[in-house]
Amino acid sequence: AQRVTQPEKLLSVFKGAPVELKCNYSYSGSPELFWYVQYSRQRLQLLLRHISRESIKGFTADLNKGETSFHLKKPFAQEEDSAMYYCALMGGAQKLVFGQGTRLTINP
């Protein structure tokens, strides 16, 4: 079975502070991991994927197979980063499964 856990439902940080959104997964095979974001009144959209090893809007995420984690990080938070963030895993049978989500609020 494939499972994604985001332990923090809510996360609040001040503008300019570092941000880390945690994501842990459970999957016996080789997973493909993603972070999706939902800004207020917008559709859910892809932020980044582990296979691309990219930085989007200052965010990065590293897949740690030993700890089965895929935490999302940004060194300096901006107010426009306030949104709902979902970690997702694609495993067997091409199923895309999401975590519970973390609502990030950046305080001015």
Residues contributing to the site for other proteins (CB under 8 A): 6, 9, 32, 34, 36, 43-46, 49-52, 86, 90, 93-101
For the purposes of burial, counting CB atoms within 10 Å of the CB of 10, is it exposed (0-12), middle (13-18) or buried (19 or more)? Answer: exposed
49 or 71: CB nearest other proteins: 49
Residue 53, number of CB atoms within 10 A of its CB: 11
27 or 34: CB nearest other proteins: 34
User: Measured from the CB of residue 96, what is the shortest distance to other proteins in angstroms?
Assistant: 6
User: Measured from the CB of residue 107, what is the shortest distance to other proteins in angstroms?
Assistant: 22
With beta carbons less than 8 A apart as the criterion, state whether 82 and 37 touch: no
39 or 76: CB nearest other proteins: 39
User: Measured from the CB of residue 97, what is the shortest distance to other proteins in angstroms?
Assistant: 6
For the purposes of burial, counting CB atoms within 10 Å of the CB of 38, is it exposed (0-12), middle (13-18) or buried (19 or more)? Answer: middle
